[in-house]
Amino acid sequence: MAVIGEEAGGTPAVRGPDGPAVVEVSGLRMRYGSKDVLNGVDFRIDRGEVLTLLGPNGAGKTTIIEILEGFRARSAGEVRVLGADPISGGEAWRARIGVVLQSWRDHSKWRVRDLLELFAGHYAPYSSPERPRPRDVDELLELVGLTEHAGAKLGSLSGGQRRRVDVAVGIVGRPELLFLDEPTAGFDPQARRDFHDLVHALADEEDTTILLTTHDLDEAEKLADRILMLADGRIVADGSPEALARELGSDAEVRWRVGGERFVHSTPDGTGFVRGLFEQHGEDVTDLEVRRAGLEEVYMDLVRRYESGGPAAGAEEEAR
Amino acid sequence: MSGTTDRAHLVRLSIRRGRIETRGSFTDPMELFGSVMMIGIFLVVLFFQRGGEVEGTGVDTAAASLPGVIGMMVVFTGVLSTAAALSLDREDGTLLRAKALPGGMAVYLGGKIVFMVVLIGATVLLLLVPGMLLYDGTAAGVARGWPVLLGVLLLGIAATVPLGAALGSLFENPRLVNGVGMFPVMGLTAISGVFYPVTALPEWVQAIAQVFPIYWMALGMRAALLPDAMLAVEVGESWRTLETVGVLGAWAVLGMVLAPVLLRRMARRVSGAKVEAARQKAMQRV
């Protein structure tokens, strides 16, 4: 157990897998009518971690995040978020959480600054020395790149600019835990990169725990300390992007040429195979290529397996 | 943090929220036009009635009709606008945002009440001030009866805004509020003695009208602004002040009991997935 200090309340602040989890979920089930959307989901998120929920549409990502946010009652299972059951979290609990919502046309007649200043006001009673709340609105505008649009009405903003407002609203209270559901939908590449930088800064500099959903693999790989792959209402893989690619990845594909003839061979141990190849053929081996299946192939493979209804029971243990 | 400073903070935020909402609404040309148009139509219609005299009373016809119109507009705005606003805010995600903030729901509702009070106040002034200038006798009525007018107005707000909030929380589709809600309100207006004396109608129709707030708001406004010479056409030839307070008070209590229950139920059901579904539906409509 790694104790890194004492918080003002006197309870030791603990980090690492042995400490109190920021989010702890076990046996989570959700059923709409006769349809099971979540069939027993278990996971935990530790302080400062950036966790990505990855999965195809309809896999249950949004349902999980809404249950954790306290917006939706679960059918069964244990859920603790920052030590409380989200469905009865209360206002002080709410103040420690940030939610980036998918905005549409709400508050369209409001000016950006008015909205952020009013929302900032909601957090003022919950300030503490280690987490001063709310964030300064000018700094916040700068942080999300909306300084020039501070006086604009929300209804006049572009889709990408509105998403920046959504992000600003999510972090105005300097949350300990931040939920982001499909955060970069509608972002251009530059905005996407800015956003990724912001997520890293929140995690590194403010020790914010972040849970985000996406179906964009590239984004999951860039942002996540850990990825949970969700398919068919179940977690089918859990690990760092590298570990997932390595452990779930199918065989490495080795291509080479000997004496003008082309060869292709699939093997779980690419390095070992190549060693054998050189021992056998020495300098006759040319055009050598070793490719390991990336996360994308793993993901597509999982999605295909689940969509075709086939079991992938092995994947869960493998990924651990 | 103690409970009182907490509440004071929420009240301050509510007033701020109401102020921002009011400014946004009053500076939006479309919304402003929608609010002002109906008021303008009534003022013009009454303007062409002026100069006539209600038989045997010496009261100008326009001045005699104006109080009923004011009472009716208070109910329209208090019930229908509140219901439509709530339903719309649920659909477009405004409520969801409120739900994601600490104290957000309380401030949302507080802000909405502030906004509705300002909106109703503005509606009354927009009818009353031109009325004082254009119709003979209205100014004198205001000078004489303004305390009663203020009392009836406050009672009317209490009777209609919570009721509108309760109704609005029942409608998932904001377009239904105006579509479905308009008919009963129009029907009730027709029998509530706004444009002609209720005593001209069969007694069973009078009985129905006297259950609902429109009749009593119109009567209350007439009681405030018209001379007793106009009593001849009222039920029982009386302003029936006690009954007015009783019925409007009962609606206020009903609204204040129902609204929190229904609003909590609505708030519980608000979720991002619902907002997203509404957005998809709206996009198909366009």
Q: Over 80: is that where the pLDDT of A319 sits? A: no
Q: Which of A8-17, A159-168, B205-214 has the highest mean pLDDT?
A: B205-214
Contact B76, B119 (CB under 8 A): no
Please report the pLDDT score of residue A271 as a whole number: 85
**Enclosing domain of residue B209:** 7-285
The tens digit of pLDDT for each residue in B194-222 reads: 988 889 899 999 999 999 999 999 999 99
The tens digit of pLDDT for each residue in A21-78 reads: 999 999 999 998 888 899 999 999 999 999 999 888 778 888 999 999 999 999 999 9
Same structural domain, A90 and A181: yes
Region B72-82: mean pLDDT is 94
Would you say residue A1 lies in a domain?
no
Would you say residue A300 lies in a domain?
yes
CA B125: distance to chain centroid? Answer: 13
Same structural domain, A180 and A81: yes
Length of chain B: 286
Q: Which runs of E-coded beta strand occur in A143-295?
A: 177-181, 209-214, 226-231, 234-239, 252-258, 261-267, 285-291
Return residues 249-278 of B near A (CB < 8 Å).
268, 270-273, 275-276
Q: Provide, as residue numbers in chain B, all residues whose Cβ is less than 8 Å from the Cβ of A62.
A: 272-273, 276
Please report the pLDDT score of residue B16 as a whole number: 97
Is the CB of A122 less than 8 angstroms away from the CB of B25? no
Return residues 249-288 of A near B (CB < 8 Å).
none
Chain A: residue whose CA lies nearest to B29: A109
Please report the pLDDT score of residue A17 as a whole number: 53
Q: Which of A9-13, B227-231, B282-286 has the highest mean pLDDT?
A: B227-231
Q: Over 70: is that where the pLDDT of A309 sits? A: no
| Cα angle, residue A281 at apex, residues A278 and A282 outer, rounded to 5° | 55
pTM of the entire predicted model? 0.84
Consecutive H or E run containing B143: helix B138-168
Kindly report the nearest CA distance between residue B41 and chain A, in angstroms: 27
Same structural domain, A306 and A286: yes
The tens digit of pLDDT for each residue in A168-215 reads: 999 999 999 999 988 887 788 888 898 999 999 999 999 999 999 987
Q: Which amino acid is at A150?
A: A
Same structural domain, A25 and A92: yes
Would you say residue B162 lies in a domain?
yes
Same structural domain, A274 and A147: no
What ipTM score was computed for the predicted complex, to two decimals?
0.88
The tens digit of pLDDT for each residue in A218-270 reads: 888 889 999 998 888 889 889 888 788 777 666 778 899 998 889 988 888 88
Please report the pLDDT score of residue B11 as a whole number: 96
Q: Provide, as residue numbers in chain B, all residues whose Cβ is less than 8 Å from the Cβ of A103.
A: 93, 97
Region A290-303: mean pLDDT is 73
Same structural domain, A30 and A88: yes
The tens digit of pLDDT for each residue in A149-160 reads: 999 999 999 888
Percent of chain B having pLDDT more than 70?
A: 98
The lowest-confidence range among A195-199, B3-7, B91-95 is B3-7
Same structural domain, A92 and A24: yes
**Enclosing domain of residue A68:** 20-96+176-191+199-248
For A282, the token pair is 């020495």
Same structural domain, A165 and A304: no
From the list A104, A107, A173, the residue facing B279 with the nearest CB is A104
Return residues 33-72 of A near B (CB < 8 Å).
62-63, 66, 69, 71-72
Q: Which residue in B67, B163, B76, B69 sits closest to B120, CA to CA?
A: B76
Q: Provide, as residue numbers in chain B, all residues whose Cβ is less than 8 Å from the Cβ of A94.
A: 100-102, 104
B104 — contact with chain A (CB < 8 Å)? Answer: yes
The lowest-confidence range among A63-67, A315-319, B248-252 is A315-319
Sheet of A252-258, strand order: A261-267, A252-258, A285-291
B114 — contact with chain A (CB < 8 Å)? Answer: no
Length of chain A: 320
Same structural domain, A69 and A119: no
Residue A104 CA to residue A186 CA, distance in Å, equals 12
Would you say residue B169 lies in a domain?
yes
Same structural domain, A236 and A258: no
Would you say residue B2 lies in a domain?
no
Listing DSSP states for A111-126 in one string gives BHHHHHHHHHHHHGGG
Residue A318 CA to residue A243 CA, distance in Å, equals 10
**Considering its fold, how many domains does chain A have in total?**
3
Same structural domain, A91 and A138: no
Cα–Cα separations (whole angstroms), residue B20 to A48, B25, B32, B99, B172:
36, 9, 15, 19, 25
Residue A39 CA to residue B186 CA, distance in Å, equals 51
A147 — contact with chain B (CB < 8 Å)? Answer: no
Please report the pLDDT score of residue A9 as a whole number: 40
From the list A66, A105, A110, the residue facing B272 with the nearest CB is A66
Consecutive H or E run containing B230: none
From the list B21, B28, B271, the residue facing A66 with the nearest CB is B271
The tens digit of pLDDT for each residue in A62-74 reads: 899 999 999 999 9
Q: Over 70: is that where the pLDDT of A281 sits? A: yes
Residue A151 CA to residue A169 CA, distance in Å, equals 16
List helix spans (H) across B50-137: 61-75, 82-92, 94-99, 104-134
Region B91-98: mean pLDDT is 91
Do strands A226-231 and A234-239 pair parallel, antiparallel, or not at all (unpaired)? Answer: antiparallel
Please report the pLDDT score of residue A284 as a whole number: 87
The tens digit of pLDDT for each residue in B165-194 reads: 999 998 888 888 878 888 888 899 999 989
Region B134-154: mean pLDDT is 95
Residue B144 CA to residue A133 CA, distance in Å, equals 53
DSSP bridge partners of A6: A12
Contacts of A207 (CB under 8 A, 6+ apart): A47, A48, A176
Same structural domain, A256 and A241: no
Chain B: residue whose CA lies nearest to A93: B102
Q: Over 80: is that where the pLDDT of A15 sits? A: no
Please report the pLDDT score of residue A266 as a whole number: 82
Residue A3 CA to residue A11 CA, distance in Å, equals 11
Is the CB of B97 less than 8 angstroms away from the CB of A169? yes
Q: Which runs of E-coded beta strand occur in chain A?
A: 2-6, 12-15, 23-32, 35-45, 50-54, 76-81, 97-100, 177-181, 209-214, 226-231, 234-239, 252-258, 261-267, 285-291
From the list B6, B97, B102, the residue facing A94 with the nearest CB is B102
Please report the pLDDT score of residue A67 as a whole number: 94
Would you say residue A15 lies in a domain?
no
Chain A: residue whose CA lies nearest to B280: A104
Higher per-residue pLDDT: B182 or A305? B182
Would you say residue B1 lies in a domain?
no
Would you say residue B22 lies in a domain?
yes
**Considering its fold, how many domains does chain B have in total?**
1
From the list B5, B93, B268, the residue facing A101 with the nearest CB is B93
B231 — contact with chain A (CB < 8 Å)? Answer: no
Please report the pLDDT score of residue A250 as a whole number: 62
Q: Provide, as residue numbers in chain B, all residues whose Cβ is less than 8 Å from the Cβ of A115.
A: 20
